[in-house]
């Protein structure tokens, strides 16, 4: 890997690749990107996140399923920035072996990393890890399928 293949993306560039919007866009910045291979990025969590209101009012923590979703979105960025996948949508086909190891709270920065493990045709799998500081918050594997936008019923 050469540094010439590494990219960074701001929120506006992420929005060009992903269809997600507030409150469901869960990647604020991509700090390192090797298209089609791996990506690192983060989500800054504030007390204003809608999910903190009800999960839980007395001890707000980020739901584990949203950590997985944030990692899946980062994985999509890693793939959708490649020209061959430009007009595609990434969808979940499964999650495997996920462990949630520490709570993520308002004020935390959720640092994420995904790496492509396998891809055959439009179906693949990412190894994913999310951390707060040096503590692992969540880790596991995410399976996905890429759908062509032209095949999606609107």
Give the active site residues. Answer: 55
Burial call 16-44: b when 16+ CB within 10 Å, e when fewer: ebbeeeeeebbbbbbeebbbbebbbbbbe
Helix (H, G, I), strand (E, B) or coil at 31: strand
What per-residue string of b and e applies to 47-70 under the rule 16 or more CB within 10 Å gives b? eebeebeeeeeeebbbebebbbbb
Q: d(Cα 79, Cα 131) in Å, to the nearest integer?
A: 22
DSSP annotation string for 63-81: -HHHHHHHHHHHHHHHHHT
45 half-sphere exposure, CB direction, 13 A CA radius:
22
């Amino acid at each position: 890997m050469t540094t010439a293949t590494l990219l960074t993306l701001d929120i506006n560039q992420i929005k060009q690749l992903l269809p997600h919007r507030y409150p469901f866009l869960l990647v604020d910045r991509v700090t390192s990107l090797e298209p089609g291979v791996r990506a690192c990025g983060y989500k800054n969590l504030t007390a204003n996140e809608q999910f903190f209101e009800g999960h839980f009012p007395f001890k707000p923590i980020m739901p584990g399923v949203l950590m997985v979703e944030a990692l899946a979105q980062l994985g999509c960025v890693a793939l959708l920035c490649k020209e061959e996948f430009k007009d595609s949508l990434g969808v979940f086909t499964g999650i495997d072996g996920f462990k949630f190891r520490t709570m993520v709270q308002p004020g935390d920065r959720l640092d994420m990393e995904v790496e492509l493990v396998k891809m055959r045709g439009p179906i693949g799998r990412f190894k994913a890890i999310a951390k707060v500081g040096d503590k692992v918050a969540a880790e596991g594997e995410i399976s996905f399928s890429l759908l062509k936008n032209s095949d999606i019923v609107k």
